[in-house]
Structure 1
Amino acid sequence: MRTYDLVVIGSGTAAQVVSARVRKAGRTVAVMDHRPFGGTCALRGCDPKKMLVSGAETIDAAHRMQGHGVTGELRISWPELIAFKRTFTDPVPQKQEAHYAAQGIDAFHGIARFTGPDAVSVEGQELKARHIVIATGARPVPLQFLGAEHIITSDRFLKLESLPARIVLIGGGYIAAEFSHIAARAGAQVTVFQRADRMLPRFDPDLVGWLMVKFAELGIDVRPRSTVNRIEQTANGLLVHADGQQSVAADLVVHAAGREPDLDALDLTAAQVTVSKKRLELNEYLQSVSNPLVYAAGDAASMGPPLTPVSAHDGRVVATNILEGNSRKPDYRGVPSVAFTIPPIASVGLTESQARAQGLKFKMKSENTPNWYTARRLAERVYGYKTLVEEGTDRILGAHIVGPHADEVINLFGLAIRHNLTARDLQTSMLAYPTGASDIGSMV
């Protein structure tokens, strides 16, 4: 049996941060993963997705500028775009493993299972540890209906060698919105089945409404309040059946219906780690309430928004608490969230409905602004914002943007929320002009 100060299960962002910090403090560390090292974001999520978005953005920009000084048609070569994505993803596992070795962190490949409160087995070996961190990320929520075996995950979508002509996405969140924009601009016919009343339920409904203009322009068939209940294999592909006797023919069906912590393989009973509603029971220090030797971070912890910066933050929090004793709690104030549609939609802080539910008094500004210079110079018809400023304190409570550069500009609002900057502070800041950020003074 080998003994370590820390064993980390997983190799994504949270795992990388906590293992590096604890090892730098002179402690012995082991990491393990049954998948290629690097985690979801770098290999199967935000990074490869954004590389595909780059191709779609180029097509969209050329289309918008037709008749405004740009001529000729561009198209996406899907195999070449996937090859471009692989220039980033393919080297990641080897680089990550080399990085662990350079730090003196032992790496193991295989499925990790707890064999006791302080022990894990992997690769036929048992490892004992003073602390264990669960950083296994998330997995697609299992879908239970006839024909569900025909569905592919978002992981597989990002590896497609060719793009089928007819694609159905089940779900209406980030994955469905982003993948539908990529696929439609690559020439696919796309249908989205969404159980909720609208797409992107985590974002402001007014701004989502403005963004839906883009879905319509692309010919994306969005069907809200529709639950898929059966998928049928036919001679011509697949037939997707949903409520209300709806049926859509498809060549490919993609799971975009949400994710949950990936915990099933761990044997948490052996670890004496309790779970409630498929979530680890953790205290305010990201520590198991039933086994103080075990911590969790990132999507596996499911305490903050399921975003890469949150995973990194959790890793820092857990490392501090392991090294110094429980002294640091996670702080999720001012974490921006972006759906990389084209144009993107972004949000930070409270939504209008959340602020009203909390009984806060605030001033709200909301405008659909396609005539502002930021949008006009790009011939973009979708641009708008909504901001919430607390009365009395002048604090930014929430900011919501859809349109060009929203994914970058939202970070300044996040900075304001996290560091208690006021609307007056933003209005009196001197920002480079003309840029997307220079619109901030008019938004608050």
Structure 2
Amino acid sequence: MDHEYDLLVIGAGMAGISAATKCASQGWRVGIVDDLPYGGTCALRGCDPKKILRRGAEVVEAARLMAGKGVLDPGLAMDWAALNQHKHTFTDPLPQQMEQNLRTHGVDALHGPAQFTGPRSVLVAQAEHTAAKVLIATGAVPRPLDFPGSEHLIDSTEFLNLTDLPGRIVFLGGGFISFEFAHIAARAGSTTVIVDRGVRPLKEFDADLVELLVARGAEAGVEVRRRTSIASIEKTGTGYTVSLETPRGTTTVETDLVVHGAGRQADLARLNLEAAGVRYGDAGVEVEAHLQSTTNPRVYAAGDAAATPGRPLTPVAVAEAKVAASNMLKSATAVPDYSATPTTVFSIPELVRIGMLEEEARASGVDVEVRYTDTSGWYSQHRIGEHAGAVKILVDRSDDRIVGAHLFGADYAELGNTISLAMKHGLTASQLRSANATYPSVGSDLGSLL
């Protein structure tokens, strides 16, 4: 059945759902479509299920850290199948819950692949729908790789759905996916190797803290091989032989699994954007700062499907979608606020970044004061038996405002949220330092870090 919509949203992840409900609440007739279960990558195939699996690793690591410190039997082990089933108790009900929520808001929930047939028309499951506005919020997919044996790679979705975790795993790429999954797998008892072609992994994070993370990961069994790339993968009777190109020549490693963690690109190839006159690239739909397509004013894009300055994070995608929805509703040109957005590698311990790197601050002319603190011996670490931690806070001497914050340590993501809020609202380091905090808590460390 064909429909005319005020807004048709392509992609039923958190960004698309946010925009759809916002516009429907203002009386617009809204449809949303996805060919996968509703919920998107973060809720079903990424952030949320990953963090559930990480909890098993956290518990195992916590017991190990307290061995000889009052915990008599630290020999815990992860039951991967049971942990994965626990994950499914969260992810499995979500699509139906989200669809029901959309219907409650009056949104039509459509299913199937979507393809543009014109500037404002989209074909879904043999039915053509037209819309005054279209929002593309299809997210991202693993970047295609082309080397002999690349078909043997599994992606992050497949890793999260493994019912059994093999004993040997190679992770390709030195980014979020590889580090987070490797830190989980190592605590589950797997031998893990991260292969990174660069000089250092996690390039968007503070170099000094990345080195601390690499060293701490090595203690837990996470090996990082730098300046190394995969030349080929060959299936064997017992697993795979991975040929590696290194600065010293070619070598091989035997493994049971090779996981693709070498980047993602906007999921746009199937949309037939040419029919809509929408310009795009690997980074996403080309949009103005207010998220409207540069070539088709009826089309907007948000999240990983849009080529914006925003980081590929779910909160950023949702914020962009809300701005896009507001702009469509009001015929406005508001621009998303990307300032002070925290981003975290949920390794064990975790690594956090907010704002500028040290080199970026200097290059931009900031009279920066670097306040570096080794927190490895602090009470918040000592209490849990941890021995790794450090914080680097960048303060502009001219106005005492924080321009960057970089944290490595247990539960520091929550500490980062407080710093992010202070940065976003222009609090000075002195003002933030003056706040009283519940003690003893990780948050109470902040005053001393400033």
TM range (shorter): over 0.9
State the Cα distance separating 1:327 from its structure 2 match: 3.0
Give the Cα separation in 2 of the matches to 1:276 and 1:220: 34
| 2:299 equivalent to 1:297 | no
Deviating beyond 3 angstroms after TM superposition, the runs of 4 or more aligned structure 1 residues are none
State the Cα distance separating 1:64 from its structure 2 match: 0.2
- One-letter amino acid matched to 2:179: A
SS of structure 2 residue aligned to 1:6:
strand
Pick the aligned partner of 1:348 from 342, 350, 354.
Answer: 354
Name which of structure 1's ranges 276-285 and 389-398 shifts more when overlaid on structure 2.
Answer: 276-285
Pick the aligned partner of 1:440 from 421, 436, 446.
Answer: 446
Say whether the 8 Å CA contact 1:113–1:121 is kept in structure 2. yes
Give the Cα separation in 1 of the matches to 2:395 and 2:418: 15
Q: Which residue of 2 aligns with 1:268?
A: 273
State the Cα distance separating 1:183 from its structure 2 match: 0.5
C-alpha RMSD of the superposition: 0.9
Give the Cα separation in 1 of the matches to 2:284 and 2:133: 20
SS of structure 2 residue aligned to 1:41:
helix
TM-score between both structures, scaled by the size of structure 1: 0.99
Give the Cα separation in 2 of the matches to 1:209 and 1:168: 20
* Deviation per residue, 1:393-430 (Å, 9 max, x gap): 11110001100111100001111111111101111111
Say whether the 8 Å CA contact 1:213–1:382 is kept in structure 2. no
Q: Which residue of 2 aligns with 1:165?
A: 167
State the Cα distance separating 1:119 from its structure 2 match: 0.6
Q: Which residue of 2 aligns with 1:121?
A: 123
Pick the aligned partner of 2:106 from 104, 107, 112.
Answer: 104
Give the Cα separation in 1 of the matches to 2:332 and 2:321: 14
Q: Which residue of 1 aligns with 2:376?
A: 370
Q: Which residue of 2 aligns with 1:230?
A: 232
Give the Cα separation in 2 of the matches to 1:14 and 1:236: 42
Give the Cα separation in 2 of the matches to 1:220 and 1:283: 42
Pick the aligned partner of 2:328 from 311, 315, 322.
Answer: 322
| 2:31 equivalent to 1:30 | yes
Give the Cα separation in 2 of the matches to 1:308 and 1:348: 16
Q: Which residue of 2 aligns with 1:20?
A: 21
Give ranges in structure 2 of 5+ residues lacking alignment: none
TM-score between both structures, scaled by the size of structure 2: 0.97
Say whether the 8 Å CA contact 2:165–2:190 is kept in structure 1. yes
Q: Which residue of 2 aligns with 1:218?
A: 220
| 2:412 equivalent to 1:410 | no
Q: Which residue of 1 aligns with 2:91?
A: 89
- One-letter amino acid matched to 2:322: R
SS of structure 2 residue aligned to 1:413:
helix
SS of structure 2 residue aligned to 1:203:
coil
Q: Which residue of 1 aligns with 2:316?
A: 310
- One-letter amino acid matched to 1:384: A
1:33-112 pair list within 5 angstroms = 33-72=34-73, 73-112=75-114
Say whether the 8 Å CA contact 2:283–2:306 is kept in structure 1. no
State the Cα distance separating 1:215 from its structure 2 match: 1.4
* Deviation per residue, 1:50-70 (Å, 9 max, x gap): 000000000000000000000
Pick the aligned partner of 2:435 from 422, 429, 433.
Answer: 429
Change in Cα spacing, 1:280 to 1:427, as seen in structure 2 (3 Å) is same
- One-letter amino acid matched to 1:300: A
Name which of structure 1's ranges 37-46 and 203-212 shifts more when overlaid on structure 2.
Answer: 203-212
Give ranges in structure 1 of 5+ residues lacking alignment: none
Say whether the 8 Å CA contact 2:14–2:318 is kept in structure 1. yes
| 2:253 equivalent to 1:248 | yes
Give the Cα separation in 1 of the matches to 2:21 and 2:38: 15
State the Cα distance separating 1:79 from its structure 2 match: 0.4
**Count of residue pairs the alignment pairs up:** 444
1:393-404 pair list within 5 angstroms = 393-404=399-410
* Deviation per residue, 1:237-280 (Å, 9 max, x gap): 11111212121111111000011110000001001001245532
- One-letter amino acid matched to 2:388: V
| 2:210 equivalent to 1:208 | yes
- One-letter amino acid matched to 1:122: V
Percent of paired sites with the same residue? 45
Name which of structure 1's ranges 318-327 and 46-55 shifts more when overlaid on structure 2.
Answer: 318-327
Say whether the 8 Å CA contact 2:283–2:307 is kept in structure 1. no
- One-letter amino acid matched to 2:191: Q
* Deviation per residue, 1:6-49 (Å, 9 max, x gap): 00000011101100100000000000001111000000000000
Change in Cα spacing, 1:435 to 1:181, as seen in structure 2 (3 Å) is same
